[in-house]
C-alpha cells in the first residue's frame, strides 16, 4: 500500500482517487470544495461497485481542504488546464512532499515542461494522463519533460502498471499526447462532415461505433490497412490505395467551433441520442467492462494462455 495525494476533486481527480483505492492505496483528495469532491468520489465508488465490484478491504479516500499527514509516494495533480494554476498549486504543496515524491499531472494536452517550469523538483514532474473514466479505462499516457529523470519515469511506470494499467510512453512531448491527438484528428473530420451536412450526426457516430470501432478493439488503424493490403501487407496497400488516401487527406476539413458548428453539434446530438448526459455516461460505464473483459479473453486466447 502506498500513500497517494490527489490534487483536485473534479471528475478526473475523483476518478483517479477511485482507481487508486481500488488498487489498494491510501488516498487523500485535496480540494477546497470538500462537499462536492466527496459527492463525486462516493458516486464513482458506488458505480464501480455496481459495474466491476470492489474488494471489501477498500478504504475510501480522505477528502480534505488542504494536505494533511505524511508525504505521499505519488502526487496526482488534476486541476483545470491552466499552466499558471497548476504551477502555483504544485509549488505551494512542494514543502509538504518528500524529496522522492513522484509529481504527476493529469493534463490532457499540456507539456510536462510547461507544468514543471519554476516548480521545486522538476526532475520528478511528468504527465500521467488517463482516459476517462480513470477507474475503468486500461491505459495511462506517460510523458517526461527535458528535466524529468529516467528514474522518475521508471518508478512511475511500475506504479501505474501495479494498478493494472497499460502504460503508453511518449518519446517526446506533443500537445494532446497520443490518445487525444488521435481522437481530435478523427473528431475534426466528424465535425466537418456534420457542419457541412454530409450526413446526420447519428450516422457519423454509427460509422465510428459500428464501422470502425469493432476492428479497432483488436488492432490499431495501421494494422487495419496492413491487413487490407493482402499478402504484401502495407506494400500492397500503398500500391493499391496509397494515392487515393493522399487525395482523401487533401480533402479533409478544418472546421472551427464557431456558433454555427456548435449549434449543428448540439442539435445533431439531441436528435441522435436525446437521453441526458448522465444516462449516456452511465450506460458507457455499464457496457465498457463487458468490452474490456471480452478483449482480455481474446488476448489470452491469442497468447495461448
Residues 149 and 187 in one domain: no
Strands 139-144 and 125-130: antiparallel
Residue that is last in its domain, among 170, 202, 223: 170
**pLDDT score recorded for residue 134:** 95
Q: Which domain CATH number covers 116?
A: 3.40.50.720
239 with 128, same domain: the answer is: no
By the 10 Å C-beta count (0-12 exposed, 13-18 middle, 19+ buried), 251 is classed as exposed
Evaluate whether residue 9 is within a structural domain: yes
Note whether residue 41 is domain-resident: yes
62 lies in the same domain as 147:
yes
Residue 99 lies in a domain: yes
Q: CA-to-CA distance for 95 and 9, rounded, in angstroms?
A: 21
What confidence score (pLDDT) does residue 102 get? 98
Q: What is the pLDDT of residues 205-217, one digit of tens each?
A: 999 999 999 999 9
What CATH number corresponds to the domain at position 204?
1.10.1040.10
Q: Does residue 107 sit in the same domain as residue 245?
A: no
Domain shared by 183 and 166, yes or no:
no
227 within a domain of the structure (yes/no):
yes
Model pLDDT, residue 295 = 86
pTM: 0.91
Per-residue pLDDT of 28-49, as tens digits, reads 999 999 999 999 999 999 999 9
- Report the domain count for the chain: 2
What range defines the domain where residue 194 resides? 179-274
Other CB atoms within 10 Å distance of the CB of residue 293: 11
Question: Looking at residue 256, what is its pLDDT?
Answer: 96
Q: Are 57 and 22 in contact (CB under 8 A)?
A: no
CA distances from 227 to 89, 127, 218, 255 (A): 48, 34, 13, 32
The pLDDT score that the predictor gives to residue 300 is 78
Residue 290 lies in a domain: no
- Chain-centroid distance of CA 158 in Å reads 18
Q: Is residue 300 part of a domain?
A: no
Question: Helix 34-51 vs helix 277-303: angle between axes, to the nearest 10 degrees?
Answer: 50
**77 & 22 share domain:** yes
Nearest to 11 by CA among 48, 50, 41, 33: 41
Cell of 266: 448540439
Contact in structure between 295 and 218 (CB atoms under 8 Å): yes
Say whether both 156 and 48 belong to one domain.
yes
Do 26 and 107 lie in a common domain? Answer: yes
pLDDT band for 164, please (50, 70, 90 cuts): very high
pLDDT digits (tens, 9 = 90+) for 220-261: 999 999 999 999 999 999 999 999 999 999 999 999 999 999
Q: How large a percentage of the chain has pLDDT more than 70?
A: 99
Residues ≥6 apart with Cβ < 8 Å to 83: 110, 114, 115, 117
Same domain, 203 and 128: no
- 52 pLDDT higher than 90: no
Tell me: do 77 and 156 sit in the same domain.
yes
Asked if 155 and 192 sit in the same domain, the reply is no
- What's the confidence (pLDDT) of residue 305? 59
In percent, the amount of the chain with pLDDT more than 90 equals 91
Q: Helical H runs in the chain?
A: 11-22, 34-51, 83-93, 112-116, 150-162, 179-195, 201-206, 213-216, 221-228, 234-251, 259-272, 277-303
Q: Same domain, yes or no, for 15 and 80?
A: yes
Amino acid at each position: 500500500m502506498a500513500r497517494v495525494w490527489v490534487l483536485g476533486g473534479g471528475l478526473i481527480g475523483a476518478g483517479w482517487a477511485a482507481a487508486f483505492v481500488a488498487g489498494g492505496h491510501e488516498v487523500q483528495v485535496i480540494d477546497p470544495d470538500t462537499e462536492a469532491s466527496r459527492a463525486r468520489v462516493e458516486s464513482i465508488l458506488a458505480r464501480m461497485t455496481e459495474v466491476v465490484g470492489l474488494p471489501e478491504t477498500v478504504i475510501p479516500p480522505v477528502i480534505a481542504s488542504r494536505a494533511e499527514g505524511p508525504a505521499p509516494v505519488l502526487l496526482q495533480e488534476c486541476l483545470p488546464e491552466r499552466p499558471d494554476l497548476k504551477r502555483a498549486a504544485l509549488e505551494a504543496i512542494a514543502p509538504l512532499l518528500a524529496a522522492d515524491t513522484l509529481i504527476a499531472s493529469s493534463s490532457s494536452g499540456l507539456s510536462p515542461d510547461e507544468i514543471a517550469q519554476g516548480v521545486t523538483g522538476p526532475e520528478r514532474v511528468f504527465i500521467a494522463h488517463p482516459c476517462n473514466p480513470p477507474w475503468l479505462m486500461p491505459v495511462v499516457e506517460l510523458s517526461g519533460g527535458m528535466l524529468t529523470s529516467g528514474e522518475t519515469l521508471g518508478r512511475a511506470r511500475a506504479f501505474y502498471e501495479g494498478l493494472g494499467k497499460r502504460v503508453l510512453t511518449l518519446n517526446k512531448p506533443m500537445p494532446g499526447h497520443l490518445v487525444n491527438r488521435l481522437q481530435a484528428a478523427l473528431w475534426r473530420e466528424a465535425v466537418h462532415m456534420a457542419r457541412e451536412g454530409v450526413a446526420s450526426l447519428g450516422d457519423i457516430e454509427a460509422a465510428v461505433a459500428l464501422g470502425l470501432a469493432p476492428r479497432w478493439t483488436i488492432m490499431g488503424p495501421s494494422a487495419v490497412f496492413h491487413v487490407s493490403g493482402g499478402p504484401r501487407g502495407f506494400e500492397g496497400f500503398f500500391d493499391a490505395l496509397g494515392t487515393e488516401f493522399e487525395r482523401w487527406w487533401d480533402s479533409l476539413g478544418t472546421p472551427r467551433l464557431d456558433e454555427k458548428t456548435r449549434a449543428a453539434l448540439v442539435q445533431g446530438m439531441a436528435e441522435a441520442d436525446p437521453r441526458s448526459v448522465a444516462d449516456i455516461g452511465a450506460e458507457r460505464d455499464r457496457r465498457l467492462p463487458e468490452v474490456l473483459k471480452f478483449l482480455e479473453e481474446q488476448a489470452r486466447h491469442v497468447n495461448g494462455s
